Structure 1
Amino acid sequence: MSETLSIYIAQLNPNLGAVQSNCKAIAAAYARGMADGADLILTPELSITGYPLEDLVLKPYFVRMARQALESLAEITAGEGAPGLLVGAPWLDDGVLYNSTFLLEGGNITAIRYKHDLPNYGVFDEKRVFSQGPLPKPILFRGISLGVMICEDMWFPSVANALKSDGAEILLVPTCSPFQVNKHQEREKQGQLRTEETKLPLIFCNQVCGQDELVFEGASYVLNHRGKKIIQMPAWQEAELLTCWKRVNDGFVCETENMNELETGMAAIYQAMMLGLRDYVQKNHFPGVLLGLSGGIDSALSAAVAVDALGADKVDCIMMPSRFTSGESVSDAEECAKLLGVNYDTIAIKPGMDAFNEMLFPAFKDTNPDTTEENIQSRLRGLILMSLSNKFGKMVLTTGNKSEMSVGYATLYGDMCGGYSVLKDVYKLDVFELCRWRNQTVPKGALGPSGPVMPHNIIAKPPTAELRDDQKDEDSLPPYERLDDILRCLVDNEMAVSEIIERGHDASEVARIEHLLYIAEYKRRQSPPGVKITGKNYGRDRRYPITNGFRSARS
């Protein structure tokens, strides 16, 4: 029976589906752990393939490729005194597919454990692709009984209690737990509940990456047998740490302490936006991004995030003025571009509008100008940006926020054109707060400049789409203080109209916003992906029918 154990926590950034490069990264972490004297290297859930796999894992060839890679990876553990390695991959057993974790030791796969609790809510749909494994037994490693709980297995007492009953001495949690505001607190709470129930210490190892709409911030941690956090690894970056364990009386104690402060509030949201955009652009091999810089707050914040995530040389900003664009907007955009140090150009849309007016005159005769002409301006701008993208390869970044997307205050095939949306899950009031925060703070790991990154006037002036004379957002929408509260109630909290009215909102206004929310669903289905920030984002999280006759206000 061993009296000591050293476990190397490898908080990695996998590239989903890139099995060979993921195995190379795991092997490199393994080598570093071995050099540090580790007995065991622990990696996140499905570390060989990345997560979430969605329907990619239904491709038989992919599953076979992952198995072959796993078997090849086991070879690095051969040799006297070589550390063990815990990795994750999909595994087909007698025709049944499992989300699995493997112990590689002595050049072989020596233990396999299947995920028992499969999440099937919110952004998760594992029951679609995986089968439930039995309650896992501990893994005996060098005389020490290790209880492996794969991600969701930690969120319920059954797995931890079963492992404890079967003699587990340390709980290991390889996981892929995506970011949303304040979720790290819930993760810690669940870990503490398991340690309180079992009186066993716990290691939580999370991946760190952007994957389409999701970001995973890492923030791996260790709890002692009393539930006290003694190790907090950093968020938003790959990190590795050797932890040293010693048997004391009847249990194991971690002798390592290492505490990193986690970002909260606006700092955490900004980090999520940076990581989500960076990994989306780099893993899809775009040379950079381009966006329309209007002189407004949404495009200014989107540009700032892009510069901080990718560097100013990877960001092109285009001002596309019309006859409704104010001189103030032009000068604000120019100053913003200078502060950020981005490539900046101007392409006026008046010649294009004149051409469209001439083309459409016979069809539009005897009608008055309305939102149709406003939307043509937006669509012409979208056409310009997509043309530049096609010609030079950079991805178009859309700039709409969650408040606008909620009520359809966006133009399909216009300002919704693009490959990714940084602000898709950020309400307008949070856009303002993020801009003020960024002007005063340089985010950790940011590639952008210190000091203000946008003129104060962009934050202070009333928001406007500038598609007609003297237009303001509040001409069409309630003030954002009211709108955002109503939307949070409807979208994030699924509250009934009657409950929202009880909060002090006008009944007709709430009914109107609910109606706008539902009829804009067809637009959101055609919008680009954007990073999940809140408890319920549009996309893989909130899934509403397009054809929908329900209205709470009428019930």
Structure 2
Amino acid sequence: MKIYPVQMNVVPGKPELNFETLKKEVEKAVLNQCDLVVFPEMCLSGYLIGDLWEEHSFLDQCVEYGNRVASLSNSIDILFGNVAREDGIGENGRPFLYNAAFYASKGRFEPLIHSKGIVKHFLPKTLLPCYREFDEPRYFSDLRRLAFSLNQPLEALLKPYTRKDGIQIGISICEDAWDSIYEIKPVSILASQMNENGFLINISCSPFTLGKTDARHRVFAAHASQNKIPLLYLNSVGTQNNGKNIYAFEGDSCVYRATGEKAFEYPKFESYSTVIELDGKEIKVSEKSKPQLTGMAEVRKALVYMLSENLKRWGIERVVIGASGGIDSAVSAVLYTEALGADRVFLVNMPTRFNSKTTRNAAKDLADNLGCPYLEAPITDTIDVFCRGLSSLSFERSSVSLKVEGIHYENLQARTRSATFLATIASVLNAAFTCNGNKSEVMTGYCTLYGDTCGIV
């Protein structure tokens, strides 16, 4: 059996774009004479899309494009992730929605649940994460609730899919494999029902976290070796936004032998597909895995990748950065230069009489070293003119003074730099300007509102 797993760049909230990508990959798989092409979790809709899950027109789109995927399966089987919708009202007052897997063959969806007259042409995710960036129970029901509502044991619904050639595929979705904190073990339930011609597939949409690669390999290698069944872990790439934060998806898909050994590891942070041959418990891949980045090199790659993907998606081709001569703006300048190119990163140093020659020289050296356009724009005169004008004004029926001094003067410098100078320069250049505040400052509010908090990313 020849399998074509696609590590796909999923564009959140754009099923029409994702369908076109999927269609092209299906065509490639057919040309490679493959039997099955596999795509990641929620590959049509996107995964982290916030309350877009509550838009009925968007759900209609997802269902429509899911049906179009099925129509592509006349000459090859297709396994992919999408949202499943059923009639009725769930306990949250909305229609029943499932994060689900679909298997299409001969132009139609195959039943993935069939028990005592119950037939479902999709398989819901069993375990829904609700921690950190994950909030799936807010929108979706799971297989456990479905089993309960049908008065069926979970094992009766969670079964491997058997192809017409007798090969069984145990399908799980992302969190289903991260089962150490759960009483229910979906992968073990599937494996216990599989024959000698079995193959485990986990379709995922798992965001990048430093150190997650090692943990992921431990989890999936253990599933393969403990059950003595080859396993495919398939993740997506790209960036997605849950309405609170932007997350990068590194891919790092991997094929494991029945011993738990890696047969092939996909490259990180790029769309990729290859042909895998399954012969019983033997896995054959014609190419070798590339060396993977680790540690800070991996973090740097993730940051540049996230910036590149989002700037491209937002249509931003230039950025303006306030270069103070400090470390935060220097890091921003380096990352944006790698993402866009030096000629599209404009560095602006905005000193007052309080700034030393050392920091001004450091900002200039930064621009020279990176090859970025550079401007020194002193702001003291602008601030002083504003302060004199404001102090000459007075409220009616009040003697309060409008003299700007102390911390108010300090904050005015930050606001003048960001909300006035950088915002105006960016507007003139048809660019965006960056927020250089580090994460701890922004999280704790230890920065100037409308000053250090302004800017993108």
Specify if TM > 0.5.
yes
Q: Structure 1 counterpart of 2:439, which letter?
A: K
Residue deviations 1:305-348, cap 9 Å, x none? 01111222332222212112222222222221122222322322
Partner in structure 2 of residue 43 of structure 1: 39
User: What is the rounded CA distance, in whole Å, between the counterparts of 2:295 and 2:304 in structure 1?
Assistant: 15
Residue deviations 1:191-246, cap 9 Å, x none? 12322332211100111112232111111111111211221111111111111110
Kindly indicate whether the alpha-carbon contact (under 8 Å) linking 2:350 and 2:417 is maintained by their aligned counterparts in 1. yes
User: What is the rounded CA distance, in whole Å, between the counterparts of 2:263 and 2:298 in structure 1?
Assistant: 22
User: What is the rounded CA distance, in whole Å, between the counterparts of 2:343 and 2:220 in structure 1?
Assistant: 43
Aligned counterpart for 1:398 among listed residues 419, 428, 435: 435
Partner in structure 2 of residue 239 of structure 1: 272
Asked if residue 220 in structure 1 is aligned to residue 279 in structure 2, the reply is no
Partner in structure 2 of residue 163 of structure 1: 190
Residue deviations 1:236-259, cap 9 Å, x none? 111111111102xxxx22122632
Structure 2 matches for 1:297-446, cutoff 5 A? 297-362=327-392, 365=401, 369-383=405-419, 384-420=421-457
Following TM superposition, by how much is the alpha carbon of 1:359 offset from its aligned partner in structure 2, in angstroms? 2.8
Structure 1 pair 307/368, CA: closer, same or farther in 2 (3 Å)?
Answer: closer
Q: Structure 2 counterpart of 1:264, which letter?
A: T
Kindly indicate whether the alpha-carbon contact (under 8 Å) linking 2:207 and 2:249 is maintained by their aligned counterparts in 1. yes
Following TM superposition, by how much is the alpha carbon of 1:300 offset from its aligned partner in structure 2, in angstroms? 1.1
Structure 2 matches for 1:471-490, cutoff 5 A? none
SS of residue matched to 2:143: coil
User: What is the rounded CA distance, in whole Å, between the counterparts of 1:368 and 1:413 in structure 2?
Assistant: 17
Asked if residue 11 in structure 1 is aligned to residue 7 in structure 2, the reply is yes
Bigger mean CA offset, 365-374 vs 195-204: 365-374
Partner in structure 1 of residue 221 of structure 2: 192
Q: Structure 2 counterpart of 1:125, which letter?
A: D
Residue correspondences, number: 409
Kindly indicate whether the alpha-carbon contact (under 8 Å) linking 1:57 and 1:90 is maintained by their aligned counterparts in 2. no
Partner in structure 1 of residue 82 of structure 2: 89
Following TM superposition, by how much is the alpha carbon of 1:76 offset from its aligned partner in structure 2, in angstroms? 2.1
TM-score by length of 2: 0.85
User: What is the rounded CA distance, in whole Å, between the counterparts of 1:179 and 1:206 in structure 2?
Assistant: 11
Kindly indicate whether the alpha-carbon contact (under 8 Å) linking 1:210 and 1:277 is maintained by their aligned counterparts in 2. no
User: What is the rounded CA distance, in whole Å, between the counterparts of 2:219 and 2:66 in structure 1?
Assistant: 30
TM-score by length of 1: 0.70
| Percent of paired sites with the same residue | 31
Bigger mean CA offset, 184-193 vs 159-168: 159-168
Asked if residue 104 in structure 1 is aligned to residue 104 in structure 2, the reply is yes
Structure 1 pair 75/183, CA: closer, same or farther in 2 (3 Å)?
Answer: same
Aligned counterpart for 2:303 among listed residues 259, 273, 278: 273
Following TM superposition, by how much is the alpha carbon of 1:16 offset from its aligned partner in structure 2, in angstroms? 0.6
Structure 2 matches for 1:112-127, cutoff 5 A? 112-127=122-137
Asked if residue 282 in structure 1 is aligned to residue 282 in structure 2, the reply is no
Following TM superposition, by how much is the alpha carbon of 1:368 offset from its aligned partner in structure 2, in angstroms? 8.5
User: What is the rounded CA distance, in whole Å, between the counterparts of 1:400 and 1:293 in structure 2?
Assistant: 12
Following TM superposition, by how much is the alpha carbon of 1:42 offset from its aligned partner in structure 2, in angstroms? 1.0
Structure 2 matches for 1:65-80, cutoff 5 A? 65-78=61-74
User: What is the rounded CA distance, in whole Å, between the counterparts of 2:221 and 2:172 in structure 1?
Assistant: 14
Q: Structure 2 counterpart of 1:200, which letter?
A: I
User: What is the rounded CA distance, in whole Å, between the counterparts of 2:41 and 2:371 in structure 1?
Assistant: 39
Aligned counterpart for 2:240 among listed residues 191, 196, 211: 211
Q: Structure 2 counterpart of 1:54, which letter?
A: G
Asked if residue 140 in structure 1 is aligned to residue 162 in structure 2, the reply is yes
Q: Structure 2 counterpart of 1:171, which letter?
A: L
User: What is the rounded CA distance, in whole Å, between the counterparts of 1:24 and 1:395 in structure 2?
Assistant: 30
SS of residue matched to 1:149: strand
User: What is the rounded CA distance, in whole Å, between the counterparts of 2:39 and 2:29 in structure 1?
Assistant: 11
Kindly indicate whether the alpha-carbon contact (under 8 Å) linking 1:139 and 1:145 is maintained by their aligned counterparts in 2. yes
SS of residue matched to 2:66: helix
Bigger mean CA offset, 332-341 vs 359-368: 359-368
Alignment root-mean-square deviation, CA: 1.9
User: What is the rounded CA distance, in whole Å, between the counterparts of 2:259 and 2:82 in structure 1?
Assistant: 31
Kindly indicate whether the alpha-carbon contact (under 8 Å) linking 1:17 and 1:49 is maintained by their aligned counterparts in 2. yes
Unaligned regions of 5+ residues in structure 2, if any? 89-95, 112-121, 145-153, 395-399
User: What is the rounded CA distance, in whole Å, between the counterparts of 1:19 and 1:83 in structure 2?
Assistant: 21
Residue deviations 1:68-111, cap 9 Å, x none? 11111222222xxx221112111102331001111122122224
Unaligned regions of 5+ residues in structure 1, if any? 421-555
Q: Structure 2 counterpart of 1:274, which letter?
A: V
Residue deviations 1:386-407, cap 9 Å, x none? 2233444322211111343355
Kindly indicate whether the alpha-carbon contact (under 8 Å) linking 1:192 and 1:227 is maintained by their aligned counterparts in 2. yes
Partner in structure 1 of residue 119 of structure 2: none
User: What is the rounded CA distance, in whole Å, between the counterparts of 2:237 and 2:426 in structure 1?
Assistant: 29
